[in-house]
């Protein structure tokens, strides 16, 4: 029997401004090349992997942080993401690059998280990519530090990160919220309002077994 705060299916939503890096992180979590890192999709994608009766579900998103995205298009993507993560994501994994994380970028990311739910920051974990400008002090820049505070100081550095550590932190983030997913009430009709033909067009879920390293993590 699952203990309080544990989950039998961990649902993770990837957010950030680089499709390549989001896809790479999703593939890293699942232990298989399920997301195309070169060709960006204009819709959300869902893939999952099994490990000893438990399941990790990863929802990769298109560029929701683009400065030219329309409000209607953003709403469509958010509804699709909520539908694919039903009954709600446990963790928002924010894949960020310090050299690109400006104040404007931070505001767009916060806007997207707030659109999901006012609980989103409690369910967020930052994954920070290595800076191309070593020793530049980009980690100390105000926008990134402010985002770290908003996410309750939950962050990891992508460089030299081992899979068990990432899986453990994802599991810890879920447990800190008693295993409860984000309640995206503003989109609560995202599934029921969809017609049958839309349901039939949803992307087929990609299933791949996780690697032994994933199983060894034992979230």
Q: List the CATH number of the domain containing 61.
A: 3.40.50.300
Residue 87, preceding peptide bond in cis (omega within 30° of 0): yes
Comparing CA positions, the residue from 72, 50, 48, 69 lying closest to residue 59 is 48
pLDDT at position 134: 58
pLDDT at position 24: 97
Has residue 23 been placed in a domain? yes
> Could you give the CA distance from residue 183 to residue 188 in angstroms, rounded to a whole number?
8
pTM of the model: 0.84
Domain count, the chain: 1
Q: Which residues of the chain have pLDDT under 50?
A: 1-5, 52, 190-204, 207-219
Has residue 165 been placed in a domain? yes
Has residue 31 been placed in a domain? yes
User: Which range of residues forms the domain containing residue 177?
Assistant: 9-217
> Could you give the CA distance from residue 41 to residue 144 in angstroms, rounded to a whole number?
27
What pLDDT, in 10s, does the model give residues 104-134? 999 999 999 999 999 999 999 999 998 776 5
Has residue 1 been placed in a domain? no
pLDDT at position 133: 61
pLDDT at position 208: 47
Residue 110: helix, strand or coil by DSSP?
helix
> Could you give the CA distance from residue 88 to residue 30 in angstroms, rounded to a whole number?
19
For strands 45-51 and 54-60, give the pairing. antiparallel
Task: Give the C-alpha distances (Å, rounded to integers) separating 105 from 114, 119, 142, 173, 176.
Answer: 14, 20, 12, 24, 27
Has residue 4 been placed in a domain? no
């Amino acid at each position: 029997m699952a203990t309080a705060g544990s989950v039998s299916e961990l649902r993770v939503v990837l957010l950030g401004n680089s499709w390549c890096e989001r896809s790479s992180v999703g593939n890293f979590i699942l232990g298989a090349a399920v997301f195309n890192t070169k060709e960006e999709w204009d819709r959300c994608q869902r893939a999952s992997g099994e490990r000893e009766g438990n399941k990790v579900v990863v929802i990769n998103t298109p560029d929701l942080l683009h400065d030219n995205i329309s409000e209607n298009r953003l709403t469509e993507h958010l509804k699709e993401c909520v539908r694919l993560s039903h009954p709600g994501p446990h963790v928002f994994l924010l894949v960020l690059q310090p050299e690109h994380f400006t104040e404007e970028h931070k505001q767009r990311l916060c806007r997207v998280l707030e659109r999901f739910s006012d609980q989103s920051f409690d369910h967020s974990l930052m994954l920070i990519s290595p800076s191309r400008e070593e020793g530049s002090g980009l980690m100390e820049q105000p926008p990134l530090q402010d985002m770290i505070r908003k996410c309750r100081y939950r962050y990891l550095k992508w460089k030299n990160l081992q899979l068990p550590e990432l899986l453990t932190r994802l599991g810890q983030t879920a447990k800190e919220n008693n295993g409860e997913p984000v309640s995206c009430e503003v989109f609560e009709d995202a599934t029921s309002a969809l017609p049958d033909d839309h349901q039939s067009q949803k992307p087929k879920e990609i299933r791949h077994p996780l690697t032994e390293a994933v199983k060894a993590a034992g979230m």
